[in-house]
Structure 1
Amino acid sequence: MNSIQKTPLRVSVLLVVAFFVVFLTYRTTVVTAFDRAILSWFEQNRTDGLLMLMDGLAFVGSTKMVVILGILLITFLLVSRSPLKDVSFSASVLLTTGILNTAAKYSVARVRPEEFMIIELSTYSFPSGHTMGAVSFYSVVAFLIWKRSERRSIRFAICSFSIMMIVLMGLSRVYLGVHFPTDVLGGFFLSGAILTFFYWFYYKRDKHSSL
């Protein structure tokens, strides 16, 4: 396996390390102060218009919606007779994202920032499920469309849209006061690790070498 083939795997490992750095430091005084400062700033700058937008994003990024969108995506890939590799990659990323997010939440059991919340939620906080779902789903969609289109305008449009949705989803969780910023960072890192690992596994791994 050459160096280029290994790059996604190395990125995945680095993202896992970054995730654990966030996990191991979020209780420290410095990081806690950072979390609270960001939450306080968003709380002081809430507007009715932005609250409506963020509420809409909360609905789009909910577990039910992500499951529905994921099922629709896999169904489309199967009906359109897409390569099995694409189906397996998409299903692996989305399923692993859901499983690891749930496992991490209950393992860490971090309480949400209740004094900043404007939406009542009883589930644990770390890492952000909305963020992980957005990173995984929109990145997979962007990747699949990128593979199928040679037009730069389409590639640019889908990548821009996906990045926008991912960033807005992460910001919305802090804006609504339901997550600490470090929950969102942890979600970015963990879902990024999942994406890059399965990209390496299905598209870059040397099939003649052992894992």
Structure 2
Amino acid sequence: MNPLDETILAWANALSHPLFLQGMAIITYLGSSEFIILLMLITIIALIIFKRDWFNSIFILWLTVGGIVLNFGLKILFQRERPGEMSYIEVFGISMEIASYSFPSGHTMRSVLLFSFFIYLSYTYLKNTSLRLASYTFCLLLIIGVFLSRVILDAHFPTDIIAAICVSISWFFFSLYYLPKWMTKFRLTDRFR
């Protein structure tokens, strides 16, 4: 373990009041696969029904599913043990006998991707500056809450969180830049009008 991880984990371990840890467990749920998938599906349905926005519906699907695949691939590649007990991948109450490694943090990646998408969507649709800023702030606070909860709950090393944020932001901007080009190249934009 490197000095940065040691220092931050020592600080996080000092915050061990049961009520505080219970609050962190609730916040960490916002980055869970179940919550992200459910919120993604609701967003896709809302975008299609209320806005007829096929591009952003495809974008959030691409972003979320691609982020999950990217995270899983990186976990398998690096296979870094967790600071606490080793856990297994569990989605919607179904536990798979696949080790859930620490690097990079899946909860952090999923929350950064989803809430970055909501920041982008706020920029796209909200014309009122105050509403936009409120939306940006709310999304950023959720992202910060999720990544702090993962360290405080002893689920990840801080460097796992930093890596997850960097990978997520890179994936978001890569997707934002290339997805419209690929959709145009394969004439998908004509099909979804």
TM-score of the pair, normalised by structure 2: 0.82
Q: 134, 139, 156: which is aligned to 1:157?
A: 134
Shift of 1:144: 0.9
d(CA) in 2 for partners of 1:204, 1:188: 25
- Higher normalized strand content (fraction of residues): 2
Gaps of 5+ in 1: 1-30
Q: Which residue of 1 aligns with 2:146?
A: 169
Which residues of 2 match residues 1-211 of structure 1 at below 5 A? 32-114=2-84, 121-122=87-88, 123-202=100-179
| Contact 1:121 1:178 (C-alpha < 8 Å) held by counterparts | no
Q: Which residue of 2 aligns with 1:26?
A: none
Tell me which of the two structures has the higher relative contact order, counting C-alpha pairs closer than 8 angstroms and 6 or more residues apart: 1
Equivalent position SS for 1:150: coil
Shift of 1:72: 1.2
Shift of 1:204: 8.4
Aligned CA-pair RMSD: 2.0
d(CA) in 1 for partners of 2:179, 2:37: 22
d(CA) in 2 for partners of 1:131, 1:77: 24
Corresponding pairs, count: 173
Shift of 1:203: 5.9
d(CA) in 1 for partners of 2:4, 2:126: 42
Gaps of 5+ in 2: 89-99, 186-193
d(CA) in 1 for partners of 2:121, 2:164: 22
